[in-house]
Amino acid sequence: MKKSQITIFIVLGIVVMIIFGLVFFIQRQTSDIVLEKKINKIYGDFLSSTGMKEYVSNCLERSTKDAIKLAALQGGKIYDYQVKGGYNITSNNETIPFNYTGINPNGTIYNVSYGIKAPNRSSPLYPSYEDYPYSGPLVDDPYNLLLTDYDSVFALKEEDPYHFHSLTSLCNFYGSNYWDIANATSTCETTVLTNYSIQEYLKYFIFNKTKKCVNFPQFRSQTKYNISEGNITGFVLIGNDDLFVNIKYPIIISIEGKPPITKFLEFTSRPKIRLKKVHELGMHLIGCFARGNIPKADANNIFFDITKNDSHDCFGDNDLRNQPCILDGMKVNKIRDYYLGNPIYDYLPKHYHYSDLINITDNNSIIDGKPLTFLFAVENRAPALNFTPDITINKNSEIEFFALDPDEDDLTYSINSNDFTPKGGGKFEAPSTTDSYDVMINVSDNEGLYDYQHLTITVS
C-alpha cells in the first residue's frame, strides 16, 4: 500500500473519531440540559407546594432575634450548653446567674459573664497598700503617674495580648467585618484572633437554631423524589445600627442513576439593632484598652461613676474622638450585690455575693416589643484611700479623711486609736491633750475589702 493511501485512512479515522465525539458530546449536553430542566422543575414544584421558603425565612428571623437577645443578656457570650461551639464555663465563679423575670422563681436563668474582673492585690504588678492605687493623692488622670506596664489599677488586664479586656470582644479578627484595606482591617472596635467573640457566638446559634427550626422531613414527605438538606453556611455582619445575617440553605435532589445536584436557598435577616454601639458603650465605660488608647473610665479612674458618667471618647461619623458613647435612647443602670441575701447562691464564696450587674438598655433597639438589654458583671473591688501626709491639728478640732470606691459602694472609716472620736463618714475629732499619735486609717466596703495608711497626727 502506498504512503499516500495510509495517510488518507488516518485522516478518515480522525474524522470518524471527531464525529463520534461530537455526537457523544451533543447527546451528553442534551442529557444534562434535560436533567437540569427536570431538576429545576422538581425544585420549583417542591418550593411552591411546601411553602419552605417562607418557613425558613421566618425561622431565620426568629433565630437571629433569639441569638442577639441571648448574647446581650449574658455579657456577649453564648455557652456550649446552649449551642455547640459556645463558651465553656469551667467554674461557678465565672458568671452571675440572672433571672430575667426578676420575681418568677421559674423564670429563665441567664449566666452573665464579667466585663470587669478585680485585679489580684497580691500580684507584684499591683501597688502596695501604702501606695494603692498609686503614689500620692487621688487624681482623675492617673495614667501619667503609672510607671509600669499595668494600664489599669481597677480592672484586671487580661494576659491575652489580643484581648485586653474581660468583656467579650465584638468580632473575630478575620470574620465577616474584616476588610483587607490598609489601616481599616475591621469595622469592629474590639476583635480577637480566637472564636471567642460575639460575632462567632451569634453565627453558631443562628445557624444551629435555624436548621433545628426547619422540620425538613415534613417538607420532604410531600414529594416523591429523594430530597435532602445540607449544612447551612453564611455569615453575620455587624453594622453600626443593624446586623446583617446571610445564610445559604442547601437542598440536595437525587434522581436514580444520576449524581445528586445541590440547589441553594439564600436568605437574609437585617434587624435594626444597635448591638455594636451598645457594646462599644460598655467597652468605653469599662475603659480597659491597650496602652496608648486609655480613656478615663472605670478601669483606671477612681472618680468615674459607670452609671452617671460618659467617657466621651467614642468615634463619631467622621471617626473623630471626643464623641459621646451614650446615644439617644440608651440608659445605664447598676444592680448592686446581685447575689447578696439570696440563699440559692450560698454555695458561692462570699466575695462573689458582692458582684454588681451593669444593665445597658437601648430603647432604639427593640426585640419582641422590648428594648435591647445588655448585661455584664463587675467583680467587687477594693476602695482607695486618699493619701494624707503627716499633719498637725489643734486640740478637739476635726480632721476628715477621704476615700472613694471604684464600684461606688458605701464605705466605713476607722482609726486604731481611741483618742480620736468618730464623727461619721471620714470625720474624726482630735483629743483634748497635746501629743503625737502614730495611727492607721482604714477604709472598707460592705464586703470588707479595704485600704489603709499609716501617718503621724500631731495635736497641738
| 237 found inside a domain | no
- 33 and 162 both lie in a single domain: no
Average pLDDT over residues 292-305: 79
pLDDT at 449 over 60: yes
| 127 found inside a domain | yes
Let me know how many helices (H) and strands (E) the chain has, helices first. Answer: 5, 20
pLDDT digits (tens, 9 = 90+) for 234-288: 999 999 999 999 999 887 777 665 677 787 888 999 999 999 999 999 999 998 6
**In the listed set 321, 346, 378, which residue is the last one of a domain according to the structure?**
378
- 46 and 192 both lie in a single domain: no
302, β-bridge pairs: none
Domain of 41, in residue numbers: 1-50
Domain containing residue 389: CATH number? 2.60.40.10
State residue 159's pLDDT score.
Answer: 62
Q: Which amino acid is at 435?
A: D
CA distance 134 to 130: 9
State residue 397's pLDDT score.
Answer: 95
pLDDT at 5 over 60: no
| Total number of domains in the chain | 3
pLDDT digits (tens, 9 = 90+) for 358-405: 999 999 999 999 999 999 999 999 999 999 999 999 999 999 999 999
**In the listed set 27, 50, 73, which residue is the last one of a domain according to the structure?**
50
Tell me which residue has cell 414529594: 223
pLDDT digits (tens, 9 = 90+) for 205-237: 999 999 888 876 666 555 666 777 788 899 999
CA atoms within 13 A on the CB side of 145: 17
- 82 and 158 both lie in a single domain: yes
Q: How far is CA 80 from CA 67, 75, 89, 96, 247, in A?
A: 13, 15, 8, 16, 22
State residue 439's pLDDT score.
Answer: 96
Q: Checking DSSP bridges between strand 427-429 and strand 421-424, what pairing results, if any?
A: antiparallel
| 135 found inside a domain | yes
- pTM (predicted TM-score): 0.85
| 164 found inside a domain | yes
* Per-residue cell: 267: 436568605
* Per-residue cell: 238: 455587624
Which bin fits 6, alpha (ψ -120 to 50), beta or left (φ > 0)? alpha
- 174 and 297 both lie in a single domain: yes
- 185 and 290 both lie in a single domain: yes
| 257 found inside a domain | no
| 374 found inside a domain | yes
| 10 found inside a domain | yes
State residue 146's pLDDT score.
Answer: 54
- 297 and 176 both lie in a single domain: yes
- 357 and 425 both lie in a single domain: no
State residue 121's pLDDT score.
Answer: 77
CA distance 379 to 130: 23
